[in-house]
């Protein structure tokens, strides 16, 4: 009677989820201006929302700040540095010389200066 019934004993294993490590190395992409701002925003949000990691958030904020600093410096230098002003001055002079040449060529071919810019 008892020999007819078979019992199977199984052992179930439970896996405990391990917390994944935050992607700190993505912070290296933050050194590339503009790209770094977008990666920094992603890392900042990941650090605040997913991983709850202050260092990842700091890296993300630093990436955004780095892009702002780089582009602000370039803008300031472009507006105020004498090297850039001299470069723009040279380019403007070349364009004016070319414009005078084209106006004089028009006068030679048509016998008079252009009277209306819309034609």
Residue-wise pLDDT tens digits, 78-112: 889 998 889 889 999 999 999 999 999 999 999 99
**Domain boundaries along the sequence of the chain:** 29-106
Helix, strand, coil in percent for the chain, rounding step 5: 65, 0, 35
DSSP letter (8 states) at residue 111? S
How far from each other are the two terminal CA atoms of the chain, in whole angstroms? 112
Cα(26)–Cα(88) distance, rounded to whole angstroms? 38
How far apart CA 78 and CA 88 sit, in angstroms, is: 10
Question: CA 70 to CA 100: how far, in whole Å?
Answer: 39
pLDDT at 15: 65
Q: pLDDT tens-digit profile of 17-42?
A: 667 888 999 999 999 999 999 999 99
Question: Which alpha helices (H) appear in 13-81, and where do they start and end?
Answer: 35-45, 54-80
């Amino acid at each position: 009677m008892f020999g007819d019934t078979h019992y199977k004993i199984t052992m179930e294993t439970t896996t405990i989820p391990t917390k994944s490590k935050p992607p700190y190395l993505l912070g290296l992409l933050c050194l590339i201006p503009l790209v770094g701002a977008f990666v920094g925003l992603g890392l900042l949000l990941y650090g605040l929302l997913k991983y709850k990691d202050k260092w990842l958030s700091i890296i993300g904020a630093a990436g955004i700040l780095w892009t702002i600093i780089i582009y602000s410096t370039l803008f300031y230098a472009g507006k105020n540095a004498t090297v850039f002003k001299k470069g723009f001055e040279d380019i403007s002079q070349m364009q004016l010389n070319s414009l005078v040449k084209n106006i004089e060529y028009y006068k030679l071919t048509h016998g008079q200066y252009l009277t209306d810019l819309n034609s």
